[in-house]
């Protein structure tokens, strides 16, 4: 056997041909052990620590991988926050740790995996802190992002890449599954929630009017946030027109809690403020009970998508076709093309992949009436 044969075996990763683990078992250069003669059972490592929205999208791809290669052993290396949501995901083992912040953290990671062997590493996160972990994972095949999306030199730490496509982030994660199976992969949504967490959500929401709308007003990046005055006006008008209930959710920062408290006072008898008071699974259960979510580009959008709740996403910094609720953007308010024209002086169709509008006025292009119109469509009522 020689390098040409090895490259022929590995070339399937960059095409739509499946990796035949049973065939590779017979090749001394393609070290992919199979425990049963005719049943591929590769040990696959997944690396994705954050952000929470990305983790939810990766989970949809991993569920598809589980279906396509049922004999695989899957180990997902991730963060405690991600695990708090993913715990119970069927057919997946978790190695839980914080992202490294120091040399001692890297030493501990390398020591932890020194004696472990994988057949495939799916390098689903690309930044320097994570890229430096990939050499510690021993595997003959490490699949990373294409050169365009392989941020901070990730391509140095992988030996195969998925093909580039100007498509939704979920599609990029599904491309890793296609690389292994040779078949187009379809996202499989779902978050593992227990009966207890569903009961908690039902009890907390029981006193609110219906229909029920979740408002998650704050993103991890301030430039993605809508104007507080617009949120307040939206609540006031939605309560007037639809007599609906609002659940306000969010994180635990002082600024976020202050905004949520302010918004909860707009219509206190119609509003429950849970900002900073839910676990990741509790938030998912609340979204599962809701009739709609209104939110900017944030993890709650993908969480709602996973549990099947309609999303009215607020987009202007990035296009909803890339980061919105996967294949369900029909209720989104997307002012990205207008923001590109006004603040970048360009046509959105001619921009490179992943171009963002980093301007404080971008989200102000979204009007309250735009959101009310979409809420009318979701709730099926007239304003």
Half-sphere exposure of 351 (CA within 13 A, CB side): 17
| Contacts for 317 with CB less than 8 Å, ≥ 6 apart | 221, 223, 224, 297, 336, 339, 356, 357, 358, 362, 363
Residue 380 is predicted with a pLDDT of 87
Architecture of the domain whose range is 3-181: 3-Layer(aba) Sandwich (3.40)
Confidence of residue 177 (pLDDT cuts 50, 70, 90): very high
Give the pLDDT band (50/70/90) at residue 7. very low
> pLDDT per residue over 233-247, tens digit each?
999 999 999 999 999
Please report, for the chain, the start and end positions of each structural domain, with discontinuous segments joined by +: 3-181, 195-379
49-83: pLDDT as tens digits: 999 999 999 999 999 999 999 999 999 999 999 99
Indicate the pTM of the whole model: 0.89
Same fold, 3-181 and 195-379: yes
Q: How confident is the model at residue 144 (pLDDT cuts 50, 70, 90)?
A: very high
Whether the predicted pLDDT of 31 surpasses 50? no
Question: What digits encode the pLDDT tens for the residues 194-222?
Answer: 999 999 999 999 999 999 999 999 999 99
The predicted model gives 159-171 an average pLDDT of: 95
Structural domain 195-379, CATH architecture: 3-Layer(aba) Sandwich (3.40)
Confidence of residue 18 (pLDDT cuts 50, 70, 90): low
Distance CA 344, CA 347 (A): 9
Cα→Cα distances 380→236, 373, 377, Å: 19, 10, 5
Q: Which pLDDT score is estimated for 2?
A: 41
């Amino acid at each position: 056997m020689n390098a040409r044969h090895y490259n022929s075996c590995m070339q399937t990763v960059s095409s739509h041909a499946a990796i035949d683990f049973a065939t590779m078992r017979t090749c001394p250069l393609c070290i992919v052990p199979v425990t049963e003669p005719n049943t591929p059972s590769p040990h696959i490592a997944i690396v994705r620590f954050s952000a929470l929205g990305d983790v939810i999208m990766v989970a949809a791809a991993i569920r598809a991988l589980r279906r396509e290669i049922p004999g695989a052993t899957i180990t997902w290396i991730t963060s405690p926050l991600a695990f708090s949501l993913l715990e119970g995901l069927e057919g997946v083992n978790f190695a839980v740790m914080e992202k490294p912040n120091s040399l001692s953290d890297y030493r501990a990671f390398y020591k932890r995996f020194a004696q472990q062997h994988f057949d495939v590493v799916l390098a689903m996160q690309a930044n320097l802190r994570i890229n430096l972990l990939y050499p510690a994972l021993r595997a003959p095949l490490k699949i990373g992002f294409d050169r365009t999306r392989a941020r901070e030199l990730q391509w140095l730490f992988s030996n195969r890449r998925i093909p580039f496509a100007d498509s939704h982030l979920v599609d990029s994660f599904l491309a890793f599954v296609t690389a292994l199976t040779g078949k187009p992969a379809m996202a499989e949504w779902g978050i593992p929630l227990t009966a207890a967490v569903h009961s908690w959500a039902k009890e907390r929401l029981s006193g609110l009017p219906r229909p029920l709308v979740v408002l998650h007003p704050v993103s991890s990046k301030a430039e993605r946030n809508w104007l507080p005055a617009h949120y307040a006006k939206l609540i006031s008008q939605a309560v007037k027109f639809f007599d609906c209930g609002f659940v306000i959710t969010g994180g635990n920062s002082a600024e976020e809690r202050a905004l949520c408290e302010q918004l909860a006072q707009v219509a206190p008898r119609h509003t429950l403020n849970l900002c900073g008071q839910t676990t990741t699974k509790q938030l998912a259960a609340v979204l599962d009970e809701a009739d709609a979510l209104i939110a900017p580009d944030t993890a709650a959008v993908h969480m709602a998508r996973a549990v099947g709740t309609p999303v009215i996403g607020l987009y202007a910094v990035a296009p909803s076709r890339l980061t919105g609720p996967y294949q369900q953007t029909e209720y989104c308010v997307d002012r990205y093309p207008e923001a590109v024209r006004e603040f970048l002086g360009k046509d959105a169709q001619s921009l490179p992949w992943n171009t963002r509008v980093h301007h404080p006025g971008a989200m102000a292009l979204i009007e309250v009436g735009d959101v009310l119109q979409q809420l009318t469509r979701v709730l099926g009522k007239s304003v």
